[in-house]
Amino acid sequence: MNGTRADGVVRQPSPERRARRHDPERKDRIVDAAIRVIGKHGVAGTTHRLIAAEADVPLGSLTYHFTGLDDLRAQAFTKHAERMSAIYAAHFDGVGTGDELVEALTRLIHGDAGAGADDWAVAYELYLAALRDPALRGVTESWMRTSRTVLEQFVDPVTARGVDALIEGLVMHKTLATTPVPIDEIRAIVRRALGR
């Protein structure tokens, strides 16, 4: 918007300000920034200011797009879970036989389910936050249900629940271990869990 000074000179906004006024991806950038901040600082250390700085937006943008920090945090966790679910599902593309399933599960676990340390930091923050905030359990339940649905393409629902828990547990053990878990040991565990 143009501004006119008292002397009649029309003041044009800077190109940077014009570009920021029309910013249709701002909300998504804020959510992505919240994910990164949670990964770096944990839920307890996440603030509006840190998120705004990470997203490179004015602080007021957060209150414009979100009802509060809880709302923003829930949207960040939801987006993170959706991303992780897509990575998870992709590991099973092309699986057709029992042996291929064993290998896909083994590679999934051995490769930290296709996620990096920051991704797992956010996931574990979600798990802890959901213990204290029942509203977030919808996010975790949806994520677990999505994982089980992928597995149910290959095994019955009860086995899918057990294998999904096994995957999460083994990835957590592997992520927190000080020595690597041998891939052959992971493969043997997966085979036993599937009764193969």
Q: How confident is the model at residue 187 (pLDDT cuts 50, 70, 90)?
A: very high
Using an 8 Å Cβ cutoff, are 20 and 61 in contact?
Answer: no
Mean pLDDT value across residues 143-155: 96
Query: In this structure, which amino acid lies at residue 196?
Result: R
Measured CA to CA, the distance from residue 127 to residue 28 in angstroms comes to 23
Closest residue by Cα to residue 168 from 102, 92, 109, 105:
109
% of the chain at pLDDT higher than 90: 67
Residue 167 has pLDDT above 80, yes or no: yes
Decide which of 10 and 85 is more confident.
85
Supply the pLDDT for residue 7: 56
pLDDT digits (tens, 9 = 90+) for 9-32: 555 554 444 445 667 788 999 999
Least confident of 3-7, 122-126, 139-143, 153-157: 3-7
Supply the pLDDT for residue 53: 94
- Over the chain, what is the mean pLDDT? 87
Supply the pLDDT for residue 8: 57
